[in-house]
Chain A
Amino acid sequence: MIWYPMNDPSLGCSSFIVGDSASGEGIVVDPLGAIGVSDYVLAAQDLGITVVEVVETHVHADHASCARELAAALGVSHGLSHRAPAQFPFHKLSEGDVLTVGSVTLTVWETPGHTPDSISLVVRDKRRGDDAWAVLTGDSLFVGDVGRPDLADADPQMIRRASHDQFHSVNRLMALPDFTEVWPAHYGASPCGGLFMDQRTNSTIGYERRYNPFLRIADAETFVEQQQRLLKPQPEEAQKLRAQNLGRSA
């Protein structure tokens, strides 16, 4: 199994190459414009794998994505939630879809909240067993925090609805076993999270269950109020970046 995180510390962004060294196939998740198409292509070559798909956990609003360009450079499809209002053709991913690379599988869980098109990818390696051993949570669940609800639509009603969705999404992730590793799309001071986001790039479901302040909130209303109370200013050019990543000219 190949697990290769590629990070951009300046914005606290994480991306990943996940693959199977035996079959020699891999998937790139959330590639960053700041790292650039060439670095991903050459990293995959160094790892000895052929990339079969480029997937994004959601349409990002804090940084430029290079998923479309990377998919084109590799001649593979670009996977996004079927709920993404993108202007370009893409592989529409829905709840329960399974992306397979050799003995490694990524199962799509729709986890809306940060954006309606947010998904998490539950990672299994059949060679190890049937248990999920990791989950790529995108901007749903962070280490010590959860994704903010206001970047896709800043209308107050929509923010409340998104925050409700986020409550259910992050609690749904708690159905995974405690030892499951949590690998979000952000860490550190990323503008996509709140005040509690950890500097670490990853944790476990068990850690989050125990220490994430948002997962100690038992009812949705309190969760929604807490998220609203703690909202930070929007990242610069959030709407422009999301429009650009959707293939629209802002």
Chain B
Amino acid sequence: MTVQELHSLVDSSNAVLLDIRLGRAYAEGHIRGAVSAPFSQRGWARSVAAWMRREAPSYAVILFGDNQIVTQSAAQALKAEGIVIEAVWDQGLGPWREIGLPVVRVDNITVDVLRTELETWAVIDVREPYEHRSGVIPGALKVPLAQLPQRMQELDPNQRYAVICATGSRSQSAAAWLAEQGFQVANVVGGMSLWLGGRHPVERG
């Protein structure tokens, strides 16, 4: 399959575009509408199949990966669960970018840059309430990761958001999801561990 064929397939098909690369790769760039489901050998196909039956019954899947061995393994596992695979792409995002097709991406921002530009960012802290005891960036909006979809309407589409968690891992998923919803977001690399390590201001209590 050429990248042009992939493009027209993504545009015309109503199959679910399943991005099986690691979460980091998805955050760095993905095709709009792609659902992130990083492949793993244990339990992955079963949970994807359960999600498909719940959210998109009777739809096929376009698998999007960046390594032939991983995409083949994923395709086999999904077929065994009875999921119909419409197409498989294993060349990653490189060819898609090369011909200038749009990607959804999350920028990374360091704690030092966030500190100096804090006026122009709204911070979303996606940690759980018990984690706030170590300190929260002044003015940050506290939205635990799981509540993000329900509380999306609190967000302003014209505002830039910096998403933070403890280490930068959950915030990456949250930021990728918000980017997919059309918000301007950046992921704070290293999260609160680096913010606190850099002795930047926090409020407690």
Contacts and interface: CB of A to CB of B under 8 A. Distances in A.
Interface of A: 22, 24, 37-38, 41-42, 45-46, 48-50, 73-74
B184 interface: no
A48 B69 contact: no
A45 B42 CA distance: 11
Contact of B70 (A22, A45, A49): A45
B69 A50 contact: no
22 contacts: A22-B168, A22-B169, A24-B22, A24-B24, A38-B69, A41-B67, A41-B69, A42-B41, A42-B73, A45-B40, A45-B41, A45-B67, A45-B70, A46-B40, A46-B42, A48-B22, A48-B23, A48-B38, A50-B25, A73-B67, A73-B68, A73-B69
A24 B69 CA distance: 19
A53 to B, nearest CB: 16
A46 B41 contact: yes
B67 A74 contact: yes
From B39, B42, B67, residue with most partner A Cβ within 10 Å = B67
A93 B55 CA distance: 51
B22 A50 contact: yes
Nearest to B191: A22
Contacts of A42: 41, 69-70, 73
Contacts of B73: 38, 42
Assign chain B's interface to a size class.
10 to 19
B194 to A, nearest CB: 10
Contacts of B70: 41-42, 45
Given A37-B69, A38-B69, 18 more contacts: A22-B190, A24-B24, A38-B73, A41-B69, A41-B70, A42-B73, A45-B22, A45-B39, A45-B41, A45-B67, A45-B70, A46-B40, A46-B41, A46-B42, A73-B67, A73-B68, A73-B69, A74-B67
Contacts of A48: 22-23, 38
B24 A50 contact: yes
From A22, A42, A45, A48, residue with most partner B Cβ within 10 Å = A45
Interface string B37-77: 01111100000000000000000000000011110010000
B22 to A, nearest CB: 6
Contacts of B24: 24, 50
Interface string B6-43: 00000000000000001111000000000000111110
A73 B72 CA distance: 13
A42 to B, nearest CB: 6
Contacts of A24: 22, 24
A108 B68 CA distance: 32
A74 B90 CA distance: 12
Nearest to A70: B69
Interface in B65-120: 67-70, 73
Contacts of A50: 22, 24-25
Q: 7 closest A-B pairs (Cβ-Cβ)?
A: A41-B69, A46-B40, A38-B69, A24-B24, A45-B70, A46-B41, A42-B41
A74 B167 CA distance: 27
Contacts of A73: 67-69
